Amino acid sequence: MAMTMTGEATLPAARAKVWALLNDPEVLKSCIPGCQSLERTGDNGFSAVVKTKIGPVAATFKGKVELSDIVPEVSYRIAGEGEGGVAGFAKGGAKVSLADVESGTLLRYDVEAHVGGKMAQLGSRLIDGVAKGMADKFFTSFAEAAGGRVAPAAPAPEPLAAPAVGRSAGQAKVTPQKTSWLRRIWEWFMSLWR
């Protein structure tokens, strides 16, 4: 199953600082939800272990990441793959770019990923919601690491709303999705009988 995700966050720090943080394994490890280890394996590579849960499937993924098309303080491409045992696999890539804005640095990302195994059987809506929630947690933590304070989450229109990444002047801002987690789980559950 293929999944795409695009987003941006305004970080309250200079571009040089954001670039340094994006290339610091310790900072990334502390910002990636469920990351148990992240180690440099060369000039442009990392190995990682991430523990996550998507719906009823919990798994520990072991994988590797390579950076390419590196333009210092401007952009790079990430390509990676991970194995989660019986839970399945994930592989894909992302384009990350930085630009100066009045309140700091604008970070943009375009992600394309493919998942297989038990995870793919859960359905794209549930996986998309979890992926967006993980991206939100990453950027909230990353904004804090960059020296900024994070705006409080806006009240959700429905209970259990899944967050998405938004932006505001100088801060990473959390905004609610329109479809609640409960609704997404219900739709997935009902799709099993169609």
Domain assignments of the chain as residue spans, ordered by start: 2-191
Q: pLDDT at residue 175 above 50?
A: no
Query: Higher confidence at residue 182 or residue 70?
Result: 70
Is 80 exceeded by the pLDDT of residue 189? no
**Residue 186: is its pLDDT beyond 60?**
no
Amino acid, res. 87: A
Q: What pLDDT is recorded for position 157?
A: 36
How far is C-alpha 73 from the geometric centre of its chain's CA atoms?
A: 20
What is the per-residue pLDDT for 122? Answer: 67
In CATH terms, the fold of domain 2-191 is: Alpha-D-Glucose-1,6-Bisphosphate; Chain A, domain 4 (3.30.530)
pLDDT in tens, 46-93: 999 988 877 777 778 898 989 999 999 999 998 888 888 777 777 888
What is the rounded average pLDDT for all residues in the chain? 75
What pLDDT sits at residue 164? 41
The residue written with tokens 């505001």 in the block is 168
User: Rounded to whole angstroms, how far apart are CA atoms 194 and 190?
Assistant: 7
DSSP H or E stretch at residue 138: helix 124-145
Poorest-pLDDT segment among 60-69, 145-154, 156-165? 156-165
Quick one: what percent of the chain has pLDDT higher than 70? 71
Asked if the model's pLDDT at residue 22 lies above 70, the reply is yes
Q: What is the mean pLDDT of residues 161-180?
A: 41
